[in-house]
Amino acid sequence: MSLDPSAAEFEYDRDTRVDKRDDGAFTATLTDGWTTFTTHPNGGYVLGTALNALGQTLSQPDPLVASAFFLRPAAPGPADIRTRTIREGRRTATGESVLEQGGKEIVRATATYGDLAPDPAARVLALEGPPRLPAPEDCPVLPEFDRPEGVSIAHRVDYRFPDRPRWLDGHKDGRPHNEFWMRFADGRQADTGSLAAMVDFAIPAVLEIGEFSTITVELTVHVRARPAPGWLACRVYTKHVAGGLHEEDMEIWDSSGTLVAQARQLAMLV
């Protein structure tokens, strides 16, 4: 069950809800509210659901690092989640979470949790800053992102781009690098658990070079800080494509200009 009764008011919490069974495993229902233009539920949403169960299994509050292998596309419908504690240490706890549908593994995540409560005494080095974006209210709402048919995640997540992505107009010679704002559409604020999902909410950068069909093999996310409320500034980019594979990097910065999550995935062109 959800630990915070009020949380169920928000779409993300309702749709990633997990219920613990008597045997210790969890059940969940993946909804059709987070589909991308692959028509499948977004991988980050599926990972967030798997981590929701793991977070209830481990003693530490915040995911520090999670690695997820995407074994098969998810489908809206019931899912079973098995979690297991690998090691509980003093500062960190590590466990795994396997989400299955129809008896087949969809996502296998391993994660280390810890405590990201702010520590004013801790050293801070920040050699790069957030994307320099116009204020969100000065970025137009693109008609293609205004509650489109089919791509249901764009009903759950607000995106604001300072410049119209060139792939929307059929260009295939762009630079696979986009900077944009993002937030949950229903006013839910990001937290460390949802950041681990949101790092997969970007439109793939390789669309800018005409690659429209890419599937994630593995995604690793580092959650670096508890986010301040408000819009999230994001940077997504790909630098290397070779042999049918590419990496995609994603950074999320909060409204105070702090890096709160960074992720890299290896994806395959299909």
Query: Is there a contact between 201 and 182 (Cβ–Cβ < 8 Å)?
Result: yes
User: Within 10 Å of residue 242's Cβ, how many Cβ atoms?
Assistant: 6
Binding mask 206-245 for a copy of itself (x = CB under 8 A): ---x-x-----xx-x-x-xx------------xxxxxxxx
Kindly tell me which of 91 and 132 has the beta carbon lying closer to a copy of itself: 91
Sign of the Cα pseudo-torsion (270, 44, 221, 125, in order): positive
DSSP string computed for 156-169: HEEEE-SS--GGGG
Comparing CA positions, the residue from 64, 179, 82 lying closest to residue 133 is 179
Among 10, 27, 38, 71, binds a copy of itself (CB under 8 A): 71
Reading the block at residue 162, the tokens are 């300072």
90 binds a copy of itself (CB under 8 A): no
Q: Which stretch binds a copy of itself (CB under 8 A): 29-37, 68-76, 165-173, 180-188?
A: 68-76
**Hey, what's the torsion of the CAs at 148, 189, 194, 32, to 10 degrees?**
-30
Q: Which stretch binds a copy of itself (CB under 8 A): 23-31, 136-144, 196-204, 259-267?
A: 259-267
Q: Which stretch binds a copy of itself (CB under 8 A): 1-9, 35-43, 86-94, 179-187?
A: 86-94
Binding mask 4-43 for a copy of itself (x = CB under 8 A): ----------------------------------------
How many angstroms separate the CA atoms of 184 and 125, rounded? 29
Sign of the Cα pseudo-torsion (216, 187, 152, 98, in order): positive
Query: Is there a contact between 55 and 49 (Cβ–Cβ < 8 Å)?
Result: no
247 binds a copy of itself (CB under 8 A): yes
Reading the block at residue 92, the tokens are 């960190």
Q: What is the distance of C-alpha 56 from the center of its chain?
A: 19
Among 1, 8, 86, 135, binds a copy of itself (CB under 8 A): 86
52 binds a copy of itself (CB under 8 A): no
How many angstroms separate the CA atoms of 90 and 19, rounded? 28
264 binds a copy of itself (CB under 8 A): yes
2 binds a copy of itself (CB under 8 A): no
Residue with tokens 């009903």: 155
Residues 115-144 that bind a copy of itself (CB under 8 A): 116, 118-119, 122-128
Reading the block at residue 119, the tokens are 């520590």
Among 246, 252, 254, 255, binds a copy of itself (CB under 8 A): 246
Q: Which residues lie near a copy of itself (CB under 8 A)?
A: 64-65, 67, 69, 71-72, 86-87, 91-92, 94, 105, 108, 110, 112, 116, 118-119, 122-128, 175-176, 209, 211, 217-218, 220, 222, 224-225, 238-247, 258-259, 262, 264, 266, 268-269
